[in-house]
């Protein structure tokens, strides 16, 4: 169990979530709001539907998150034609800058024992795993009744 990708992924996720939460708390930004802020910062004028699809979020979760980010002053939502388009507010621009830095800082903290070649190899292998997850016809997260594999012990 402890020598599995699932275990290591969980450890990394928890550590990053804790680190990001500490860094973003000063701004009043919650961890789950990190990715939408970064997405809008990189795609100004995007629609909520584009954000939801590209980040592969649940529609209801994305709607609640965007609504909260608008209400707390991080995003601006403007109706253009039949759809709403999203932009960063000045407060959102500051959060975008800090959020971007969080990724690089955390990578630096946890990957400091790897040389550049090892870092590159690790990221290449993880990208390959991510592609495989996306290629699967029925990923477990989309098919909760699928049997679980028990190869890890």
Q: For the chain, how are helix, strand and coil distributed in percent, rounded to 5?
A: 60, 10, 30
Cβ(153)–Cβ(1) under 8 Å? yes
Classify domain 5-135 at the CATH topology level.
Arc Repressor Mutant, subunit A (1.10.10)
pLDDT in tens, the chain (153 residues): 789 999 999 999 999 989 988 888 888 888 788 899 999 999 999 999 999 999 989 999 999 999 999 999 999 999 999 889 999 999 999 999 988 888 899 999 999 999 999 999 999 999 999 899 888 855 555 444 444 444 443
Q: Is the pTM of this model over 0.75?
A: no
Domain parsing of the chain, residue ranges = 5-135
142: phi then psi, degrees, rounded to nearest 5 = -95, -15
- The position carrying tokens 């971007």 is 100
């Amino acid at each position: 169990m402890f020598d599995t990708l699932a275990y290591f992924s969980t450890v990394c996720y928890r550590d990053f979530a804790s680190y990001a939460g500490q860094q973003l708390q000063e701004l009043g930004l919650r961890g789950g709001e990190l990715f939408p802020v970064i997405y809008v910062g990189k795609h100004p004028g995007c629609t909520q539907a584009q954000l939801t699809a590209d980040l592969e979020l649940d529609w209801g979760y994305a709607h609640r998150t965007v609504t909260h980010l608008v209400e707390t002053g991080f995003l601006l939502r403007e109706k253009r034609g039949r759809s709403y388009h999203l932009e960063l507010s000045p407060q959102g621009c500051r959060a975008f800058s800090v959020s971007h830095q969080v990724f690089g800082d955390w990578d630096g903290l946890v990957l400091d024992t790897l040389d550049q070649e090892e870092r590159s190899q690790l990221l290449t292998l993880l990208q390959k795993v991510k592609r495989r997850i996306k290629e699967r016809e029925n990923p477990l997260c989309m098919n909760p009744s699928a049997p679980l594999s028990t190869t890890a012990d």
